[in-house]
Amino acid sequence: MVFLGIDVSTTATKALLMNNNGQVIAVTSTTYPFETPHPLWSEQHPDLWWEGAQHSIRGVLAQSGVDAAQVAGVGLTGQMHGLVLLDAAGEVLRPAILWNDQRTQAQCDEIHRRIGRQRFIQITGNVALTGFTAPKILWVKENEPGIYARAAHILLPKDYVRLKLTGEYAMDKADGAGTVLMDLQKRAWSEETLAALDIPRAWLPPLYEGPEITGRLTSEAARATGLLPGTPVMAGGGDQAAQAVGVGAVAPGIVALTVGTSGVVFATTPSALIEPAGRLHAFCHAAPGRWHFMGVMLSAAGSLQWYRDTLAPEMSFDSLLKEAEESPAGSGGLQFLPYLSGERTPHPDPLARGAFIGLTVRHTRAHMTRAVLEGVAFGLKDSFTLIQNAGLGAITQVRASGGGTKSALWRQILASVLEAELATVNTTEAAAYGAALLAGVGAGAWPDVETACSAIIQITGRLRPEPAQVEQYRRSYRVYRELYPALKASFEKM
C-alpha cells in the first residue's frame, strides 16, 4: 500500500509516492511559469497545474515501478489563497490570481469598511490582506464585471486539480480558512462575511477535514494519469498546513519553520486563538480539531536568490555561503531588510522595500551575504516573537524545512537568532510528504494524523543556539526592529 502526495506550487507540480513505513519511494516535478502582466499582478493559468499533475503522476509511477493498484489514496496540497473562477460548466473564466498578487489593497480597505476591522478579525482570525482570496473576488467584481457575471464556482489552485481528478468541487478547511471567508471557530463558511461582501454561498464548495475522502478518480482522469478509476482523493491542506504535517508540527510546542521563496513560522494551537491586532494569520490546521498561527515573510530564500542572481551570478550558492562564513555574526554592523516583494508579517505593507543599511568601505561581499542571511532570520524572528507572545506557552523545538535550511550556516544563524533548538527531519519535500501522510490516514493506514507523525517522522539533526552569537543577534535585532518604522514613509514616497 502506497500513498500519493501532489503539491501544486507556484513554480511546479510535484508528485511524491510514500509507503506505509513513511519511506519516500519516488518524487517527480513538472515546472511552469507564472505571469506578471502589470505591476503588482501575479497570475497563472490553471491548465498548467493539471498538465503538470498528469506529467508528474505518470512520471512518479514510472520512476518507482509501483503498480497503480497499490496506490491507496491521493492527498493534495499547494499554493494558498489563489482565486480560481469557474463558470457553471466548470470552465476557467480567467487566469488564477495568485497568493503573491498585490493589486487588491482598495478591496481590503472596503472589506474592513463593510464588516469592521475588529469584527473581521474576530470572525476570520485575520485582517484582510492583498494576498488573500476574498479581496480578489471583489476586485474581479469591480474590474471585470462580465467575467464576474458568468462565475458559478470558486476554488483554490490544488482544488482545481481535485476537480479534474474527481469531478467534485471540494476544499479542505485549512486552505479554506486562507480565503478569509470562513468562521474560524466554527470551521465553516461565514454567512455573515459572505452576506456583507455579497458573495453567493452557492459558489463555494463543501469543506472537509484534511484526511477525509472528497471524491474518487474518474475514468477520464485515470486515463490521463495512469492511476486506477475509483482511487480515493483526500482533502489534504494548503501548502503550509501540509508542510507542518510533513515535519510533525501537529501539537502545541513544536513550531514549523519554512525557508523557501517565502518564509513561514507555523505554530499549532489547540483552539481558535487570535492575535488581537491580526498581525498573525490564524487558520484551521489540516489535522482535524487543530488550528494554527502563521507568520509569513514574502521574500526569505527569495532574498538570497535575488542577491546571488543580481550581484554574484557567476558563483554557486555553496561558494557564496562558504565565503559568508568569513564574516562575523552581526556582519560588521551591516543590516539587510528583506522586503523585496513587500511584506506580510508583522508589517502588512505591499510598498515595503528591501535595503542594505550601514554599508561602509570596509564591508566585503562576505559581509553582504551574511547580512542577507541574518536579515531573513530577523524577519522570521518578528513572527516567532509574536507567536511567543500570543499565549501558546513554551516552544520546545523548531522543525526546519525548505531550500534555505540546506545551508548549515543559515541553520546556525536561525537557531541563534530564534534562541531555540533547530531540528531537521527525514524529508526535504515536506508539503507533498504531508499530503501523502494525510492520504494514508484517510485510507486507514494510521488512526489519526498525530499517530502517523509519531510513527514515521524522524529527527535527523539538531542545532542549539551559540551563546556568543545570541548576544550579538539580540543587539542587531534591536536595530533591525527600528528600521522599518523609520523608513516606512520613504518607501511610500518611492
| Catalytic residue numbers, as ranges | 239
Number of other CB atoms surrounding residue 69 within 10 Å: 9
DSSP state letter for 232: E
Pairing of strands 281-284, 171-172: unpaired
Cα distance between residue 456 and residue 445, in whole Å? 12
Residue 64, all three cell numbers = 518507482
Residue 292, all three cell numbers = 494554527
Cα distance between residue 493 and residue 152, in whole Å? 41
Residue 254, all three cell numbers = 513544536
Contact 294, 265 (CB under 8 A): yes
Contact 257, 265 (CB under 8 A): yes
C-alpha angle 232/235/239, rounded to 5°?
Answer: 130
Cα distance between residue 37 and residue 48, in whole Å? 17
List phi, psi (to 5°) of 104: -105, 25
Pairing of strands 96-97, 43-44: antiparallel
The H helix count followed by the E strand count for the chain is 17, 24
Counting every residue, how long is the chain? 494
Cα distance between residue 32 and residue 9, in whole Å? 10
Residue 37, all three cell numbers = 502582466
C-alpha angle 466/468/471, rounded to 5°?
Answer: 105
HSE value, Cβ hemisphere, 13 Å, CA-based, for 345: 30
φ/ψ bin of 36: left (φ > 0), alpha (ψ from -120 to 50), beta (otherwise): beta
Exposure string of 276-297, with b = 16+ CB inside 10 Å and e = fewer, is: eebbbbbbbbbbbebbbbbbbb
Q: What is the DSSP string of 85-126?
A: EE-TTS-B-SPEEPTT----HHHHHHHHHHH-HHHHHHHHSS
Number of other CB atoms surrounding residue 412 within 10 Å: 19
Cis amide linkage into residue 229, ω under 30° from 0: no
Number of other CB atoms surrounding residue 452 within 10 Å: 24
User: Cβ contacts of residue 420 below 8 Å, gap of 6+?
Assistant: 255, 384, 395, 397, 398, 465
